[in-house]
Amino acid sequence: MAAPLGSNVSFPYISSDGNSVPALRPRDVENFSYIIGHVIGEKKQRRSMFAPLGTVPGQLPKSRQEIVIGSIFESCLFKSVASCVVGFGVGAFFGMFTASIDPMSTYTTTEPPSTKAVLKEMKIRMLSYGKNFAVLGAMFAGTECLLETYRGKSELKNGPIAGGIVGGLIGFRAGLKAGLVGAGGFALFSLAIDYYFRF
């Protein structure tokens, strides 16, 4: 350890080739051994972290809490609920937007609508669009996640397959032809979106 500045402590020096090098003392060696023992030796404190198999070299291992939270965030239930909430928000925004453009769809009288009537129409559309988008988002995210889990692959095929399943289920309420058109349209839309974000 270095002596404080301004101290009158003298160190023995060894001269080699005209360079003065401070000589090691027994206390210096003891201090160094103490530090090494606590950094990489037997006295090193163990942490409550473990490195699971397959970790990338140089990557810090995750604690058990991080692994549990990561598995929750990657679960199909969480993805479905998150998509449901986001879908409701997007649908409510679209409902508010369409109600502001065309507020007269449910208004039957010839008089101009009052502010209260426009706000009521906006609320009805926001709830309607929000519910539709929420159901659509939850169904698609859950189906795609279950499909990826079953197949064990995250590839371009998963989105169109999930889109076809969800589009078919939604469209079959209006008949066979509507179900086939819905399945094909949703599958193509999912393929286009996945292709855009992957490539």
What value does the mean pLDDT take over residues 144-168? 92
- Show me where the domains of the chain are located: 65-137, 155-199
What's the pLDDT score for residue 113?
A: 75
124 band by pLDDT with thresholds 50, 70 and 90: very high
What's the pLDDT score for residue 58?
A: 60
- pTM of the predicted protein model: 0.64
What's the pLDDT score for residue 5?
A: 45
What value does the mean pLDDT take over residues 95-99? 89
For the chain, what is the total number of helices (H) and then of strands (E)?
6, 2
What is the per-residue pLDDT across 24-73, written as a single tens digit (0 to 9) for each? 677 777 777 778 877 787 777 766 665 556 556 566 777 889 999 999 99
What's the pLDDT score for residue 149?
A: 92
Percent of the chain scored above 90 by pLDDT? 48
Whole-angstrom distance, CA of residue 128 vs CA of residue 188: 25
74 band by pLDDT with thresholds 50, 70 and 90: very high
Averaged pLDDT of the chain: 82
What percentage of the chain's residues is helix, strand, coil (to nearest 5)?
Answer: 65, 5, 30
CA within 13 Å, CB half, 174? 11
What value does the mean pLDDT take over residues 149-175? 92
What's the pLDDT score for residue 24?
A: 62
